[in-house]
Amino acid sequence: MKSKTLKKDKVNIITLGCSKNMVDSEVLSGQLLANEIDVVHESSKRDHNIVIVNTCGFIDKAKEESINTILDQVELKRRGKLDKVIVTGCLSERYKNNLEAEIPEVDAFYGTMELPMILKQFEADYKTELVGERLLATPSHYAYLKISEGCNRTCAFCAIPLMRGQHVSKSMDDLVKEAEGLVKKGVKEVMLIAQELTYYGLDLYKKRMLGDLMNRLADVKGLEWIRLHYAYPHKFPLDVLDVMRDRPNICNYLDMPLQHASDNMLKAMRRQITRTETEELIAAVREKVPGLCLRTTLIAGFPGETLDDIEETKLFLQKQRFDRVGIFTYSHEEGTSGFDLVDDVPAEEKERRAQEVMGVQQEISFELNQEKVGQTFKTIVDKKEAGRYLGRTEFDSVEVDNEVIIQTDKRLKIGEFVNVKITKAFDYDLEGEVVS
């Protein structure tokens, strides 16, 4: 008589929130695989018996999405479709006690820095030798490279230090090793991410070392594009721009969240910079790297914001003509210094202001894109969708920026670079044909 075999565990990891969370999920996946545990990302198949939800706790909308996702998975467990639901990430770090009381059906809650504890759930060991070993959740030609954890800034609206702790840089040697490992897997583009890039190295090397790190990464053979995300403007290390200009595989692209243009708001938000200083920095950036693509993000509806502050922001956008702009509505987060202020802008008004600001940027984006018609750009082929190829230039990051609709009769390989001559331009996308 045959004995019944035990079904082997299969884990599905669902990641919510930002790219930094995605990297955490990839590292967790790598550790599980190294312990011979089958793992997948965001699987739509129902062939797994354990789900790990990596949550976001940044703003209200993200928290709501995280809670709904947990509840959906708990419901599957109740119906016998899952054996275990495990929750980790920022929401769990921030509200663990509340969540344990409210959703007792979850098997375990872990914070942001408790990877070894999660592995213990599987009777697995954390393998320190696996530096940079990740199961990529992105397409194989690009990846995120997290250079540090946490943040020492004290911005009034931000709860990230509550969830991620103080700034801790990874060593340059480890990051180079990780980048080399990614290239071996077929990665051609890395996006440098952190809560705050420009602080890199202060804790480890006693000075800002982002420029040095970029040089080291630019030496990695096979790495064709290196892109910078989330650079804080106050005390921005200008040597970064020299490296960007001098090294051809570092994209002329900078994501610098400014959050507002009004001095009143910048002071209230504790941004440590004035409107004038911001404008001087933008001028220096553009002077050092001509043609650089500058992306920023803004917040609408911070406590005390007036219509004059919004008008100032609109005029600021018209003057500076950023290539890319994103905007969030203010979320009143307990534990932040902003929480002590009266959240006096109604939700509908926050949304209206955000739309008004984006209306200004939409026109700017359309005009800047029109200028690209007739020009040819090196373009990476990201995917094929509805029978056409979609790609990006060096001035576009994944998911947040322009896509290039590529017209060609040829079969293109996902992840290859092609030269595309732009024939049409829209508000946020470009269209072009492959040229030799």
Q: Residue 179 CB: number of other CB atoms within 10 A?
A: 25
CA dihedral 416, 421, 423, 429 (to 10 degrees): 40
CATH number of the domain at 423, please: 2.40.50.140
Number of structural domains (the chain) is 3
What would the pLDDT profile of 205-262 be if each residue is shown by its tens digit? 999 999 999 999 999 999 999 999 999 999 999 999 999 999 999 999 999 999 999 9
Same domain, 295 and 196: yes
Same domain, 340 and 267: yes
Task: Give me the domain span that covers residue 70.
Answer: 10-120
- Residues of the chain with pLDDT > 70: what percent? 98
Q: Which of 370, 387, 414 is the last residue before a domain boundary? A: 370
For residue 297, pLDDT over 60 is answered with yes
Same domain, 81 and 192: no
Same domain, 278 and 400: no
At residue 14, the pLDDT reads 94
Summary mean pLDDT of the chain: 93
Same domain, 266 and 149: yes
Same domain, 172 and 296: yes
Same domain, 364 and 390: no
Q: Which of 370, 396, 422 is the last residue before a domain boundary? A: 370
Sheet holding 50-55, edge to edge: 38-41, 10-15, 50-55, 84-89, 108-109
What would the pLDDT profile of 351-369 be if each residue is shown by its tens digit? 999 999 999 999 999 999 9
What would the pLDDT profile of 386-432 be if each residue is shown by its tens digit? 889 999 999 999 988 999 999 898 999 999 999 999 999 999 999 99
Same domain, 85 and 151: no
Q: Please, which pLDDT band fits residue 2 given cuts at 50, 70 and 90?
A: very low
Running DSSP on this structure, what letter comes out for residue 415?
A: T
Instruction: Tell me whether residue 3 is in a domain.
Output: no
Instruction: Tell me whether residue 168 is in a domain.
Output: yes
CA distance 56 to 207: 31
Same domain, 350 and 410: no
Instruction: Tell me whether residue 23 is in a domain.
Output: yes
Q: Which of 370, 389, 421 is the last residue before a domain boundary? A: 370
